[in-house]
Chain A
Amino acid sequence: MISLRNISVKFGETFAVQDVSVAAEPGEFIALVGPNGSGKSSFLKSAAGLIPHEGSSNLASNRRIRAKQLAYLAQNATASGEHKIQNIVALGRTPHIGSLSRLTDVDSQIVKAAMEKCGVTKFKDRVFKTLSGGEQTRVHLARTLATDTALLLADEPVTALDPYYQLSVMEVLREASNEGTTVIAALHDLSLARKFCDRVWVMNSGRLVADGPPDETLTPKVLREVFRITPEGEIAR
């Protein structure tokens, strides 16, 4: 499980994230939603320990230990274009093997299973730059699964993808949570959050403004006040 208390992230004088406290259980799939600039990315990065922040976390502060506790899928994650897919997915094992040793058979099995789950096995010998955006996202998803952590943080994993890849990526994340991983994914598509997630965290202006099951959090009031839209999908005036 993950427990974060009073997390704040400051850029200069402004708060990107202000005093957010959350906790999640194993196997929960949580959608982190909020308008652009509400602090979702900064919150995920602070949870992953990538940016300076205030507050406390039950995750290790040591970089190498933390890397075994959580996997992080960056927004628009990239890779050296000439690298083969199987090598990129194998880099997910980095926290477990130390930088100078090689993959063991167990590592290779985990990498293989992760590629299988994300449907990228058929690309394993192709190089990264020849894949489409949706395929590249699934490669990175496979890379995060290969790290085999109890917590997976994904920053807008489906934002740039077509409907098919949106659903397929969400399904992989759902399956990971069914197997016991805590998944926290920043999303813009509220219908995907409703369809796949157990819980929704709504952020607005750096604060957590709602926390609960989709039906209780994505209410008409929240839609109007936070997202400035109506339940029918019109602009709220």
Chain B
Amino acid sequence: MNARLWNPRNWTLGLCGLCGFTIIASLFFGSTQIELRESLAGLLGQSTSDINTIIQTIRLPRALLAACVGAGLGASGAALQGFTRNPLAAPGLLGFSACAALGAVLALYFGVSKLVTPAAIIFAFAGAVAMTVFSRRKPGASGLVLVGIGIGALATAVTGLMMNLAPNPWALSELVYWLMGSLKNADLPDVMFAAPLTLLGLGLLLLSGPALRVLGMGEDTAQSLGISVSRTQLLVVTGCALCIGSGVAVAGAIGFVGLFIPHILRFVVGPDEAWLIPLSALGGASFLVLVDMGIRITAGPGTPLYLGIVTSLIGVPFFLWLAWRQS
């Protein structure tokens, strides 16, 4: 591979292109065959009303939402792995997803499905606040990992309790399906809700990038170079809460993307934490758009595949292969 050509900036451009390409491709692939020309016309509202509806209210929101959620997951994973200097750190492990999911499950349990979205965001933030408070004595990698895993375990346990207490099988199955993660109900208001929050979160994570690069030398060294560990932790935790909270709110819990996308990119692009965050955002977005497109194409008459299940099924073997290669 030509090192000069494949520098992080060109990777970023390339992944931007891939991400845009997957979003456009997902407009004209689906269970209904629509010609490329027709789909583009539908995007602009210039086609038949059926096609306009399919493109504008189903395919476009789904693709955009998949990109938002994937970008948030990828960037959060890269930032958490950089901050904790732990390859296993991911929004799923550190409790962000579990807290957001708990909020949504509580809203579903009490039958106020309108509140699912705000509850997921609020609980993601409550988790972030709890992580900050409990690790305030000693902010930094070891504190955040322990507290994050603890809070995640608690949220998972309470989620389990809600399922345990579900009044009937239908309520239970609603919770279970929701937890599997899906974009099947995506609409434009979801996008309008999730995109600004995700962008804000991505902004915070990007800001933390240069500090994460210095933190790779350990917390004492980074502090001696003028980096504030607690301020960096606040940026990372708040950024993750925004990205993951909004993602879970609109799509449910989607596993493994935050863990393995940064790993793949670290493997191909190199270890620079400041570049890995935007690259993982683009990689995560492209991946999730592709997977969701695959789900839409293969959708048949039965229960459609759930996005979170598919990402885990793809992610886990890949992750094992990576672990095996490294050892």
Contacts and interface: CB of A to CB of B under 8 A. Distances in A.
Interface of A: 45, 48-50, 63-64, 66-68, 70-72, 74, 77-83, 87-88, 91-92, 94-95, 99-100, 140, 143, 147
A87 B213 CA distance: 10
B82 to A, nearest CB: 9
Q: Which of B211, B223, B228, B272 has the most CB of A within 10 A?
A: B223
Contacts of A48: 224
B217 A79 contact: yes
B134 to A, nearest CB: 19
Contacts of A94: 210, 214, 225-227
B216 interface: yes
Given A68-B226, A77-B218, A95-B225, 20 more contacts: A45-B220, A50-B223, A50-B224, A63-B228, A70-B224, A74-B224, A77-B221, A79-B216, A80-B85, A80-B217, A83-B271, A88-B217, A91-B214, A92-B225, A94-B214, A94-B226, A95-B226, A99-B227, A100-B207, A140-B221
Interface residues of B, number: 22
B270 interface: yes
A147 B226 CA distance: 11
A83 B216 contact: yes
A91 B218 contact: no
Given A82-B270, A99-B211, A64 B217 contact: no
List the 7 closest pairs (A to B, CB-CB), nearest first: A67-B226, A72-B224, A80-B216, A82-B271, A99-B210, A64-B226, A94-B225
A12 to B, nearest CB: 13
A91 B226 contact: no
Nearest to B271: A82
B225 A91 contact: yes
Interface in B178-224: 207, 210-211, 213-214, 216-218, 220-221, 223-224
B223 A63 contact: yes
B205 to A, nearest CB: 14
Contacts of B273: 80
Contacts of A147: 225
Given A80-B271, A99-B211, A91 B223 contact: no
Contacts of A80: 85, 216-217, 271, 273
Contacts, number: 67
Given A83-B271, A99-B210, A100-B210, A78 B218 contact: yes
A66 B226 contact: yes
Nearest to A82: B271
A74 B216 contact: no
A140 B222 CA distance: 12
A145 to B, nearest CB: 13
A74 B266 CA distance: 27
A50 B226 CA distance: 10
Contacts of B226: 63-64, 66-68, 94-95
B56 to A, nearest CB: 39
A192 to B, nearest CB: 23
16 contacts: A45-B220, A66-B226, A70-B224, A71-B224, A74-B224, A77-B217, A77-B221, A79-B216, A79-B218, A80-B85, A82-B266, A83-B272, A92-B225, A95-B226, A140-B221, A143-B217
Nearest to B211: A99
B292 to A, nearest CB: 32
A66 B85 CA distance: 25
B214 to A, nearest CB: 5
Interface string B264-300: 0010001111000000000000000000000000000
A150 to B, nearest CB: 14
A91 B224 contact: no
Q: Which of B210, B223, B226, B271 has the most CB of A within 10 A?
A: B226
Contacts of B225: 67, 91-92, 94-95, 147
Q: Which of A68, A80, A83, A95 has the most CB of B within 10 A?
A: A80
Contacts of B213: 91
Contacts of B218: 74, 77-79
Nearest to A93: B225
Contacts of B211: 99
Contacts of B217: 77-80, 88, 91, 140, 143
B216 A50 contact: no
A101 to B, nearest CB: 9
A137 B295 CA distance: 52
A64 B272 CA distance: 23
A158 B213 CA distance: 26
A71 B226 CA distance: 10
A163 B176 CA distance: 63
Contacts of A45: 220
A41 to B, nearest CB: 10
A80 B216 CA distance: 5
Nearest to A62: B226
Contacts of A50: 220, 223-224
